[in-house]
Amino acid sequence: MPASPSQSVLSFEDARRVVEDHASQRSPGASETVDLMRAAGRILASPVAADRDIPPFPRSTRDGYAVRAADLAQLPVRLALKGELKAGPLPGSVPITLNPGEAFSIMTGAPVPPGADAVVMVEYTSRERDSVEITKQIASGENIVLQAAEANRGSLLLPRGLRLNEAAIALAASVGKSRLKVYIRPRVAVLATGDEIVDLDAEVGPSQIRNSNSYSLAVQIQEAGGDPVLLPIAPDEPVRLRQLIEQGFHADLLLMTGGVSMGRYDLVEPVLAEMRAEFLFTGAKIQPGRPVVFGRVPYGAGAFSGEGRLPESNKYFFGLPGNPVSTMVTFELFARPLIEALAGMSARPLTFLHARLKSEIRVKLGLKRFLPAILSGQYENTQAELVPWQGSGDIAARVRSNCFLVIPPDREHMRAGEWAAVLLR
């Protein structure tokens, strides 16, 4: 039986930094051009610039009167009414200018005429067809967004590496981009391991467990910008396990679940060691998910046989613990940033929100915990509370949760009302 690699168990922050460092050295793959409507959630491969000034003209931000502010210094005042400006094409070809002593009635979104430096709301005593007597200005401010105030023509609006959300799609639409260049999703292989694990179409024996990890991972991989490739379930037997691992390395990244604890039949690490894997860490001081493994193998012609030829590149792998909630948590904490990098996304720090604890928490010291929790209360009074669970196999508890409470390794007691970090999921 192959031997295990030597152990390196890191703090959560150190383990995360190792992944981030390796992620930052990966370059994304090829790109494709897709319709704007299909680009949401994809990663932009080619930057988008402003095709004209934004806004393209000085834009009124409210309904009111376009005036010269100086004309309202002394009230009341009678201004000549030169017409009405509404959003849309300008009437006629006469260039519209505002002279001293004049006003235009103007609508939200309409171009403010040259000469006007404010759009005001006013009270007036008499309004005739061609003049208005203004007695009072209501609310202050110019209410104009100047031409190019939001962006100059030619300036960068959407950088490469941006994940396209609805705002980015809107900005692309606003500059006339009906198609966008995006990166092709990296292929992420998923290998569930364990003699007791059976797939969904098989008859399940009394002591067997249905494979759920491959399916949660497939969802998370897609959310992170990858394309999941599910492999057949691997038994706890080194020859077949190795075959399937080798198959997994044809993808851009390999995620395995189960078989990474210290048990006699936890063969993932020994088999990888036999394949000349470099282990970047073999555990993290977290709960759930402590046995999580991260590493890489030399990949290319003859790579796993040690024929002495130079490997063409490295392929990364994660060995995620098999308990379903551990699998989900360790994916979020470690696999996601690497997949995002392979997908071409610019790195972003892991950030937590904060909420007050609804009730006290007591845990043992030493591990950073990411425990299924629920945000309750409303608006500014949101509170976080642990969901009762039977441990990291309890998928139903995870379904009842909507976040993870983050408990630092040096806290064994947290009081009700205290602020706590929360990882939204």
Task: Choose among Mg ion, ligand AMP, none what residue 186 binds, the Cβ cut-off being 5 to 8 Å by kind.
Answer: none
Q: CA-CA distance, 260 to 243, in Å (whole number)?
A: 17
Cβ neighbours of residue 344 under 8 Å, at least 6 residues apart? 28, 29, 31, 43, 45, 160, 161, 183, 225
Q: How far is C-alpha 236 from the geometric centre of its chain's CA atoms?
A: 35
Query: Shortest Cβ distance from residue 191 to ligand AMP (Å)?
Result: 9
Q: Which two tokens stand for residue 138?
A: 């209501």
Q: Tokens 């292929």 label which residue?
A: 187
Q: Check binding of 261 to ligand AMP (CB under 6 A).
A: yes
When the beta carbons of 251 and 325 are compared against ligand AMP, the nearer one is 325
Candidate ranges 93-101, 194-202, 223-231, 275-283; the one touching ligand AMP (CB under 6 A): 194-202
Task: Choose among ligand AMP, Mg ion, none what residue 323 binds, the Cβ cut-off being 5 to 8 Å by kind.
Answer: ligand AMP
Candidate ranges 75-83, 179-187, 193-201, 350-358; the one touching ligand AMP (CB under 6 A): 193-201
Q: Of 192, 218, 338, 345, which lies in the binding site for ligand AMP, with binding defined by CB under 6 A? A: 192
Query: Shortest Cβ distance from residue 393 to ligand AMP (Å)?
Result: 6
Give yes or no for a contact between 169 and 40, defined as CB atoms under 8 angstroms apart.
yes
Q: Tokens 């990098």 label which residue?
A: 341
Q: Which two tokens stand for residue 48?
A: 């988008």
Q: Of 11, 108, 131, 212, which lies in the binding site for ligand AMP, with binding defined by CB under 6 A? A: 212
When the beta carbons of 96 and 256 are compared against ligand AMP, the nearer one is 256
Query: Shortest Cβ distance from residue 208 to Mg ion (Å)?
Result: 12
In whole angstroms, how far apart are CA 43 and each of 171, 223, 357?
15, 12, 36
Q: What is the DSSP string of 259-275?
A: --SSSTT--HHHHHHHT
Task: Choose among ligand AMP, Mg ion, none what residue 197 binds, the Cβ cut-off being 5 to 8 Å by kind.
Answer: ligand AMP
| Cα Rg, the chain, nearest whole Å | 30
Q: CA-CA distance, 42 to 28, in Å (whole number)?
A: 13
Residues forming a β-bridge with 124: 134
Q: Tokens 């009842």 label which residue?
A: 400
Q: Check binding of 287 to ligand AMP (CB under 6 A).
A: no
Which of 282, 49, 240 is closest to 153 using CA atoms? 49
In whole angstroms, how far apart are CA 204 and each of 196, 198, 201?
10, 7, 9
When the beta carbons of 29 and 238 are compared against Mg ion, the nearer one is 238
Candidate ranges 155-163, 183-191, 209-217, 400-408; the one touching ligand AMP (CB under 6 A): 209-217
Q: Of 194, 235, 295, 344, which lies in the binding site for ligand AMP, with binding defined by CB under 6 A? A: 194
When the beta carbons of 291 and 372 are compared against Mg ion, the nearer one is 291
When the beta carbons of 259 and 283 are compared against ligand AMP, the nearer one is 259
Strand (E) or helix (H) holding 70: none
Q: Check binding of 258 to ligand AMP (CB under 6 A).
A: yes
Residues forming a β-bridge with 35: 179
Q: Check binding of 209 to ligand AMP (CB under 6 A).
A: yes
Q: Of 288, 322, 337, 344, which lies in the binding site for ligand AMP, with binding defined by CB under 6 A? A: 322
Q: Of 31, 287, 314, 323, which lies in the binding site for ligand AMP, with binding defined by CB under 6 A? A: 323
Number of residues that bind ligand AMP (CB under 6 A): 17
Query: Shortest Cβ distance from residue 319 to Mg ion (Å)?
Result: 11
Q: How far is C-alpha 317 from the geometric centre of its chain's CA atoms?
A: 22
Interface residues with Mg ion (CB under 5 A) are 194, 258-259
Residues 390-409 that bind ligand AMP (CB under 6 A): 393
Which of 307, 330, 311 is closest to 320 using CA atoms? 330
Q: Check binding of 321 to ligand AMP (CB under 6 A).
A: yes
Q: CA-CA distance, 57 to 75, in Å (whole number)?
A: 30
Task: Choose among Mg ion, ligand AMP, none what residue 60 binds, the Cβ cut-off being 5 to 8 Å by kind.
Answer: none
Q: CA-CA distance, 295 to 273, in Å (whole number)?
A: 10
Interface contacts to ligand AMP, rule CB under 6 A:
192, 194, 196-197, 209, 211-213, 257-259, 261, 321-324, 393
